[in-house]
Amino acid sequence: MNPIRVFVVDHHPMFRRGIQALVAGEQHFNWAGEAGDGDDVVAAVLAAQPDVVLVDLIMPGSDGVSVIERLRPRLPLARFVILAGSCDAADVRRAMAAGAAGFVLKSASKQEMVTVIHTAHAGRRVLSPEVTAMLSTRHAQAPIGADLTERERSLLSLMARGLPNQEISSRLSIAMPTVKFHVTNILSKLHVENRTAAVMTALRHKIVCLE
């Protein structure tokens, strides 16, 4: 198995040093690089081409969610995990809507962080236990698909009509990689594995209508 290339975006140098030491101590990890804050973050991550990017939620100038929104369409194979000092339902929803693979508290232990990186790299969503408990308590009744964006609902409606990605790209005037990016988000938000299941879920819960 190729080592997992880890990049960290955080404006605290000491925290970056801690993650670097963690990566150095794991034989299946490689250090891909680091960035603090500012306009050079996106360029630095793109140049490194990492597998997993750990992103601080709160940074001067640009928060972690906006960093993910700018990077994810350009690094579709990378996994992004938000690191936060505390968990807030609105922040978690924003992060998941942006395509984050996880939302983890900075208080996580070394072993927990190692597990987070492996889990995210494997394509599975990972949340700190505190975040999971909060979401299950506060959002148990949230309707399926409530976090879909307007663009994702439009694309899902075209999927329900049987349109392939190429035609969806033409109808919505967006590039093919962007279509695939949105489809991935839709599957994640509906908690399904493929397009057929996404369409069935959308129709069953009246997220889209074919009339």
Q: Band of the pLDDT at 71, cuts 50, 70, 90?
A: very high
Whole-number Å distance between alpha carbons of 167 and 43: 32
Q: Mean pLDDT over residues 193-207, rounded? A: 88
Q: Mean pLDDT over residues 128-150, rounded? A: 73
Task: Provide the token pair at 149.
Answer: 């964006």
Is the confidence at residue 139, as pLDDT, over 90?
A: no
Q: Band of the pLDDT at 190, cuts 50, 70, 90?
A: confident
pLDDT of residue 138: 56
pLDDT of residue 93: 82
Q: In what helix (H) or strand (E) does residue 173 lie, and over which residues does it extend?
A: none
DSSP 125: -
Q: Band of the pLDDT at 134, cuts 50, 70, 90?
A: confident
pLDDT of residue 141: 57
pLDDT tens by residue, 160-185: 999 999 999 999 999 998 999 899 88
Q: Mean pLDDT over residues 26-53, rounded? A: 90
Closest CA to 77 of 104, 103, 33, 46: 46
Is the confidence at residue 211, as pLDDT, over 70?
A: no
Is the confidence at residue 69, as pLDDT, over 70?
A: yes
SS3 string of 2-50?
Answer: CCEEEEEECCCHHHHHHHHHHHHCCCCEEEEEEECCCCHHHHHHHHHCC
